[in-house]
Amino acid sequence: MAKERGTNVVARNRKARHDYLIEDTLEAGLVLWGTEVKSLRAGRASLVDGFATVDRGEAWLEGVHIPEYSQGTWTNHSARRKRKLLLHRAEIDKLAVKSREAGHTIVPLSLYFKDGRAKVELALAKGKREYDKRHALRERQDRREAERAMSLRLER
């Protein structure tokens, strides 16, 4: 079997960019069981309730739903188990310090295969307030309206 090349996205957490102000991103590997990999290759995962924690010098991904593999037997995995993240010590220390600050958290943005290995894109994020979310939506609407007006003007 030829080695996979490129990036194959399995799941994205689109709501994270709406709910959080993304300050920094980094890529981490995942420790997975065989049936989890097969389920991911089938394109089945959800990052909606996911978050990462740092516990005793190790980074963990929690709340991510990878459904049981349909062809699996008694060796099947638990759908919402904690999964260890593979990061360098300096990256773990940086995440630990930043996540202790008030209002900061670590959220997964996307889950993908890169050159055949499962990776997760993590973001160090700060929660947005309700008025920040409304303000961002309003700015996006205004930008779209301005682009529409410019395109209509160019057509004339």
Structure confidence by residue, pLDDT tens digits, 51-108: 888 989 899 999 888 877 666 666 665 667 788 899 999 999 988 888 888 888 899 9
**59 in Cβ contact with 28 (< 8 Å):** yes
Interval 4-30: pLDDT, tens = 677 778 888 888 887 888 888 999 999
For range 38-44, the mean pLDDT: 81
- If we measure between CA atoms, which residue out of 128, 133, 132, 86 comes closest to residue 104? 128
Q: Which residues have a Cβ under 8 Å from the Cβ of 109 and sit 6 or more positions away?
A: 12, 13, 16, 17, 22, 25, 47, 121, 122, 123
Q: Where are the alpha helices (DSSP H) in 54-129?
A: 89-99
- In the block, tokens 């301005």 appear at 146
Q: Where are the domains of the chain?
A: 7-128
Say yes or no: domain 7-128 is CATH 3.30.70.270. Answer: no
DSSP 46: B
**Model pLDDT, residue 74:** 63
- In the block, tokens 């709340």 appear at 63
DSSP 2: P
- In the block, tokens 């980074």 appear at 59
